[in-house]
Amino acid sequence: MLKLMIRQLLHHPVRMLLSMGMISVALLLGLVIKGLATGLMDEKIHRTEGIGADLMIQPPHSSYILGLGENVMPDSMARKILEVKGIAAATPTATNVSFTNRFEAVFGIDLASFNRVTGGFDYLQGGPFTGPYTALVDNIYVNTHHVHVGNTVDILDHHFTICGIVEHGKGARVFIPLKTLQDLVAPGKCAVIFVKCTSPNLDSVVEKRLREFDGGALRAYQITKMSDLTTLITTSSFLGLSQFLLVVVGFAGVINFLVIFLALYVQMLAQTREIGILRALGASRRYMLNLFLGEACLLCLFGGGLSLILYLVVKAIVLSIYPALSFLLPVSAVLRVAVIAFASAILGGAYPAYRASTSEPIAALAYE
């Protein structure tokens, strides 16, 4: 039966290729969006964990996506919590987002305390801040924006001179002095305080002590263990993203259903006499049903395979243009898309398969 299915599809190669193309494009849309969303979240988690802190303190109800929080905490809190037993270092960090050229998260850091928490930057070129309006950028920012040490960049409508290029993975891609960012957006305030414990195993203990510190002054604050970020940063962290992904995958399923339905329905009408011959030769209704449903699944399989190839091509093209982006396509996501695709394929092929299986041999042979 498999050979017959393949011959049926190859009998009209243009129709088969068009059907495969439409199926693959519909599935490709879901794969690219899911891969990009998952990749960006995974990259954000790794960059945040790369800071090297054990805990981070944020205002109540803050986003775990650094750069989206408000600068409302006093930076003096970082010095005060050093009194808590088990804390080795703490650094206040102001955050903001620059929309110049591209969306970029900007960290305002106190370099000395930031180095104590993170272990310091790995400088690829240049060195630390040399003035209030100097900036550090990571190597991915350099590849994306094609800048070098000594170049001027616009950040928050101000000109900053790049004084150093650092290895990526310390939270943000752009760093400027804490005082400078505070003067621009919120004097004396910060969005997050990164805490380094004397031992990583003490993070739960130190978290409890922080909540009890100074009569419970920090109880309302959001204190997060960095080891928990992988479970906290998900598609639901981005408002509406989960629903959008669901709509896209559903849209792909509907297109898959319509393409297979039309392809097999037209094939059933065009091959009515051939169906009559098969029925006259003893092909059962079940055999005809399986034949057409098998063709639907084969079309879906070929289209799905083509969509994976196109995904790799699109990924390579996008990353060559925008190195700062990241793709990660989990196997579970591919399996979910595959299940939806095959379910829609079977539904799309059900009616043509039913019509073919119920064809009477005499009537089919007399069809003109």
- Inform me whether the pLDDT recorded for 181 exceeds 80: yes
- Inform me whether the pLDDT recorded for 233 exceeds 90: no
| 82-123 per-position pLDDT tens digit | 999 999 999 999 998 876 556 678 999 999 999 999 999 999
Residue type for 303, please?
A: G
| 259-287 per-position pLDDT tens digit | 888 877 777 776 666 766 766 777 777 87
Which of the residue ranges 2-16, 148-162, 277-291 would you say has the lowest mean pLDDT? 2-16
Q: What predicted TM-score, i.e. pTM, was given to this entire model?
A: 0.74
- Inform me whether the pLDDT recorded for 11 exceeds 80: no
Per-residue pLDDT, 361: 62
171-207 burial, b for 16+ CB within 10 Å, e for fewer? bbbbbbbbebbbebbbeebbbbbbbbbeeeebbeebb
Per-residue pLDDT, 145: 86
Per-residue pLDDT, 215: 83
Q: How far apart are CA 27 and CA 191, in angstroms?
A: 40
Per-residue pLDDT, 272: 67
Residue 329 carries which DSSP code? Answer: -
Which H or E run contains 192?
A: strand 192-197
pLDDT band per the 50, 70, 90 thresholds, residue 75? very high
CB 190 within 8 A of CB 178: yes
Q: How far apart are CA 10 and CA 4, in angstroms?
A: 10
- Tell me the percentage of the chain whose pLDDT exceeds 90: 32
Residue type for 155, please?
A: I
Q: Tokens 């206040």 correspond to what residue?
A: 92
The larger pLDDT score, comparing residue 81 to residue 247, is at 81
Query: Strand, coil or helix: what is 343?
Result: helix
Beta strands in 218-338 (DSSP E): 222-225
- Inform me whether the pLDDT recorded for 60 exceeds 70: yes
Q: How far apart are CA 41 and CA 26, in angstroms?
A: 23
Q: How does the average pLDDT of the chain come out, rounded?
A: 83
pLDDT band per the 50, 70, 90 thresholds, residue 300? confident
DSSP letter for each residue of 24-61: HHHHHHHHHHHHHHHHHHHHHHHHHHTT--SEEEE-TT
Averaged pLDDT, 54-63: 88
Per-residue pLDDT, 239: 57
DSSP letter for each residue of 246-265: HHHHHHHHHHHHHHHHHHHH
Averaged pLDDT, 170-198: 93
- Inform me whether the pLDDT recorded for 299 exceeds 60: yes
Per-residue pLDDT, 347: 86
Q: How far apart are CA 271 and CA 274, in angstroms?
A: 5
Per-residue pLDDT, 234: 65
- Tell me the percentage of the chain whose pLDDT exceeds 70: 86
Taking alpha carbons only, the member of 203, 188, 190 closest to residue 49 is 203
List C-alpha distances in Å: 322 to 52, 106, 140, 219, 315.
27, 18, 10, 41, 10
